[in-house]
Structures are given as C-alpha cells and as structure tokens.
Copies of this chain bind each other. A is one copy, B any other.
Amino acid sequence: MTYCVGLLVEDGLVMIADTRTNAGLDNIATFQKLYRFEQPGERSIAIATSGNLAVSQAVMSIMSDGFENPQTGMLETIYDHPTMFRTASYIGRAIGEVMRMNNGGSQGMGMAFDVTMLVGGQVKGGRLRLFMVYSAGNFIEATEDTPYLQIGEHKYGKPILDRAITFKTNLPDAVKIGLISMDSTMRSNLGVGMPIDLWGLRRDALETSLSTRIEPGEPYFHDLQERWSSALRSAHQSIPTPPYF
C-alpha cells in the first residue's frame, strides 16, 4: 500500500509520501516513493509513485538514463522538456515504455503492473503545476477548484483535505494539513507507514524549498499527531448531545 498527496497552493507546492511497501501481507519493507529531479534555476520537479514497485523504480531509472523518442530517434531524459506539461507527457511515455518491457514476462500471468504517479514542479518560464499520471500515460491536473491530488490509499485522508485546503492556504499550512491527512491514513491503515518523505517548492523558486524525511518519533510530527488526536476528541465533545432519545 501507499499514500501520497500533492497540494498546490498560491505560494507553492507540497508533496508528501509514505515509504511502506508490501508484497503480499507478510512482506513489508521501506522504499522511497518520492523522487526529485532538479537543476536549480532551470527546473525543480518531484514525482511520487504508487502501485507496482518494480515498474515505479524502472520508470525512475529510465527517466534519469534517458530512453529513445521514436519520433526523433534521440535519447531523452526527464531534464529535456521545456514545460511541465511536456514533462508529464514524457513520464506517461516512460510508464508505457516500462509496461512494454515487462509485458513479455507478465503476459498471460493475469498480473496488473499498474502505477499512478504525482508529478509536480516548475520549469523556468512556465507555471508551477501538479499532475496525476495514470498507467495509460494520460494525466489530470490540480486546479484552484481542487488544489490537491492523492494516490494510493486516498480515502482515509480525504475528509481533512476536503474541509481544510483551498488554493489560498499558505504553504506551511498546506504542509501541516498534508501531514494530518497522512497521519489519518497511517492511523487507520497499516499498509501506510513511516518514515514520511516531504518536499516543498515555493512558486518561482526553481529550487527545492523544503526537503526532509520524517522518522518515527520526530518531535514536530509526534506533537502534531498528539494534538490532532486530542483536538478530534475535544471537537466531538464540544458538539451538543443528540436530541433523538
């Protein structure tokens, strides 16, 4: 399982990913799912992945190494695209490339090697954007109406986002709300777990503004978990008793 969330607000972009993977129920491990591709001043991009780990890792590898564009015959890496839109298209093609490489092995095995990715960032001269790229290579974009996108186990952590996030939310609050959403998911689903990778990019900075890994017991996150739990408890206590009896 996995939970990743991307939040695109006026000030910038936040991406948060857990690190738990499981192959079956009894094979649990920790793998990074948040990758950064950056040329400071030129482009700053992060990708969060969910779904088949082999496909995700292969896509990250071939995007760094480059793979051939069938139209031009040239080797292209993730650093070769002039806009975020073209970058998202390229990632869609990279997923397709890995799917084709794997098909020989998986054909007829009835296995779905699906992945879904969040792709966020900014290329010099373009807008800060956040996309969700599907296995099929197509993608959707976060907008001012819905300034967040989620992949993986998205349901537990959606209520807080639906209530608290708007495009006008400031960047530190977006980080905080994203971490609450992650905490809600971890609390209710063992398939999502610490450490948590966190990345932030201020609009037009073109260079990572925030990058950290939150380990179990990290004081701020631990305090956030405690405060959130006790706030939820006192929130329901402050609601009057139902009149239905």
Using CB atoms and an 8 Å cutoff, list the residues of chain A in contact with chain B. Answer: 153, 155-156, 158-160, 162-164, 171-173, 175-177, 179-180, 184, 187-189, 198, 200, 209-210, 212, 220, 223-224, 227-229, 231-236, 238-245
Contacts and interface: CB of A to CB of B under 8 A. Distances in A.
B239 A235 contact: no
A39 B187 CA distance: 41
A245 B159 contact: no
B210 A245 contact: yes
A44 to B, nearest CB: 15
Contacts of A189: 155
Contacts of A156: 155-156, 158-159
Looking at A176, A177, A210, A239, the one whose CB has the most chain B CB atoms below 10 A away is: A239
Contacts of A243: 220
Nearest to A214: B244
Contact of A235 (B153, B171, B228, B241): B228
B210 A239 contact: no
CB-based closest 8 A-B pairs? A231-B235, A155-B155, A159-B184, A158-B188, A172-B241, A175-B242, A212-B244, A227-B239
